[in-house]
Structure 1
Amino acid sequence: MKKLIATTALLSCVSLSTQAQSLKPMTDEERALFRAEVRSYLMQNPEVIMEAIDVLRANEAQAQAQADLTLVSDNAAAIFDDGYSWVGGNPDGDITLVEFLDYRCGYCKRAHDEVAELLESDGNIRLIVKELPILGEASVLASRFAVAVKQVAGDDSYKAINDALMSFNGDISMPQLRRLGSTFGLDMDAIETRMDSEEVTAEIAQTRALAQLLNITGTPTFVMQDELLRGYLPLEQMQAIVAQKRG
């Protein structure tokens, strides 16, 4: 820690010396001497460079977390009450968890069971699912199918299809989606017609626009209450965050 303080002081001297140049510029000899002393100190104490980098990273992480809080606050209505995203778990829960997912995302598949266990073991969490297909045309096809199922057949059918697509490990194609829909007794003629509709296109486009506003570049991404959680989280970590949110 003392070395870090010394490094900070040394860098402060560099800044002050730079400012002082406007009053009394260094001579070439003074500048060379000063640079040599800075280099000598850093060569003798290289660990302080890593310490300074750790401090910089911590400051950047804190700044990112604060920026994310602002993003969630500014876009709260679109995140938590868009009027179309599927809502599960306990609709009256004291904690709201929002998940942006892609059906071809391996980490989304891994998170799916963990989120289900979190909801089952807790019983007081509201879940909102947002379709964010970002991994190619097959992802878009799967999301169009899932959204069309929700719009045509309702929330219960959407939940069944969401679970099925998350456990599906093959290539997603229209023939496979037809077979899947038939397995659940869905009206595939109506669903296929809806898949290409403006209503489905608009829902996916709105979620993509929201993801851009939130600087979401990958799936899964979660929002828990006021916090953006980027990437896969194991069950234990989600439980810890829930407990923290409840205070």
Structure 2
Amino acid sequence: MLTRLISGPLLALALGSSAAATDLASMTDEERATFRAEIRAYLLENPEVLMEAIGVLEQREQQAQANADVDLARAYQDALFNDGFSYVGGNPEGDVTIVEFMDYRCGYCKRAFPEVEELISADGNVRFIIKEFPILGEQSVLAAQFAIATQQVDGDEAYKLVHDALMTFRGDITLDSLSRLGEAYDLDSDSIIAEMNSDAVNGIIATNRQLANQMQISGTPTFVFDDQMLRGYVPLDQMELILAEVRGN
């Protein structure tokens, strides 16, 4: 990063406005040595300039990433919003669609869960889509398979019950614990477990993973608010601000 800064904003800062036209390659060895010494002396005398330049660079990189994320969200809107198999909750006719890529073993997903529920409930006009994206090991895969199989066997209402229970579940995820969870909601756990390794269930997980890869999503939770992508946990108040910003656009 230091090399990038010296070759850009700090070069002009150190040598003045005419520095933009300076060709370092045309300098003699002695001139380059003198130039480097002057840059070093300047930074030692004014270290705050370096921090300021780093801040500007980071802001530019963050903005570039945000712009790239908007392009990705727009490019894959149909797969995000209309795949035909993901659970759709909240208000199906809502004016803003939120998609969450999540993993039942993800601590930040669990932390975000009640805040996402509050956002959707309080707003009343959000369409909410869940993308099962198990990336944290075998237990994550088992949980996702069970949730999707529940949807396949018993429908969306049963899926949401199981989803919510898994988001607050703290123990090890095994076939026995999943069976007990299903029985607690009077579901046919045997039928659900039999469906877990079906082509339909595993195909959904594979499709979600492919979409995540195409969108350069590697962690959970990741949210998409229409065309705004939020990578990682975001507190409720910030989600509310982003929701208002999306509507304002």
Q: Under a length normalisation based on structure 1, what TM-score does the superposition of the two structures give?
A: 0.92
Q: Which residue of 2 aligns with 1:10?
A: 14
Quote the offset at 1:78 in angstroms: 0.6
Contact 2:153–2:191 (Cα < 8 Å) also in 1: yes
Deviation by residue 1:120-139 (Cα, 9 ceiling, x = unmatched): 11100000000000110000
Q: Give the deviation of 1:167 after TM superposition.
A: 1.0
| Residue 5 (structure 2) aligns with | none
Q: Which residue of 1 aligns with 2:62?
A: 61
Q: Which SS does the other structure have where 2:230 is aligned?
A: strand
- Contact 2:24 2:32 (C-alpha < 8 Å) held by counterparts: no
Give distance in 2, aligned partners of 1:28 and 1:112.
60
| 1:176-227 CA-partner distances (Å, limit 9, x unpaired) | 1111111111112221111010000100000001111111111111000111
Q: CA RMSD in A?
A: 1.8
Report % sequence identity. 56
Task: After TM superposition, list the pairs within 5 Å mapping 1:220-231 onto structure 2.
Answer: 220-231=221-232
2:138 maps to what in 1?
Answer: 137
Deviations 1:58-97 (A, max 9, x none): 0100100010011111111111111100000000000111
Q: Please tell me whether the aligned partners of residues 102 and 133 of structure 2 are also in contact (alpha carbons under 8 angstroms).
A: yes
Does the 8 A contact of 2:11 with 2:19 survive in 1? no
Conserved 8 A contact 1:99-1:221 = yes
The verdict on how the C-alpha distance between 1:27 and 1:192 changes in structure 2, with shifts beyond 3 A counting, is: closer
> Could you tell me whether the CA contact under 8 Å between 1:7 and 1:48 is conserved in 2?
no
Q: Does 1:232 align with 2:233?
A: yes
Instruction: Label 1:35 to 1:210 Cα distance change in 2 as closer, same or farther (>3 A).
Output: same
Q: Contact 1:97–1:125 (CA<8 Å) still a contact in 2?
A: yes
State the AA in 2 paired with 1:13.
Answer: A
Report how many aligned residue pairs link the two structures: 239
Structure-2 separation of matches of 1:7 and 1:28: 17
- Equivalent residue letter for 2:200: E
Structure 1 residues 5 and 166, CA, compared in 2 at 3 Å: closer, same or farther? closer
Does 2:84 match 1:80?
no
Q: Is the 8 A contact 2:10 2:53 kept in 1?
A: no
Amino acid in the other structure paired with 1:106: G
Hey, which bits of structure 1, 4+ residues long, moved more than 4 A? 4-7
Q: Provide the residue aligned with 2:117 in structure 1.
A: 116
CA distance in 2 between counterparts of 1:58 and 1:8 reads 19
Distance in 2 (CA, whole Å) between partners of 1:96 and 1:74 is 15
How many Å apart are 1:163 and its aligned residue? 0.6
CA deviation string 1:126-153 (max 9, x = no partner)? 0000000011000000000000000110
Q: Structure 2: how far apart are the matches of 1:130 and 1:6?
A: 45
Which range moved further: 137-146 or 105-114?
105-114
- Per mean C-alpha deviation after superposition, the further-off stretch among 207-216 and 10-19 is 10-19
Equivalent residues in 2 for 1:21-40, closer than 5 Å:
21=26, 26-40=27-41
Map of 1:39-188 to 2, 5 A cutoff? Answer: 39-188=40-189
- Structure 1 partner of 2:195: 194
Q: Judging changes above 3 Å, is the alpha-carbon distance between structure 1 residues 15 and 205 closer, same or farther for their aligned structure 2 residues?
A: farther
CA distance in 2, matches of 1:96, 1:168: 26
Deviation of residue 5 (structure 1)?
7.2
Distance 1:5 1:14, change over 3 A: closer
Q: In structure 2, how many angstroms separate the alpha carbons of the residues matched to 1:27 and 1:214? A: 47
- Structure 2 unmatched runs, 5+: 1-7
**In structure 2, what is the equivalent of residue 215 of structure 1?**
216
Q: Distance in 1 between matches of 2:187 and 2:162?
A: 10
Tell me the SS of whatever aligns to 2:85: coil
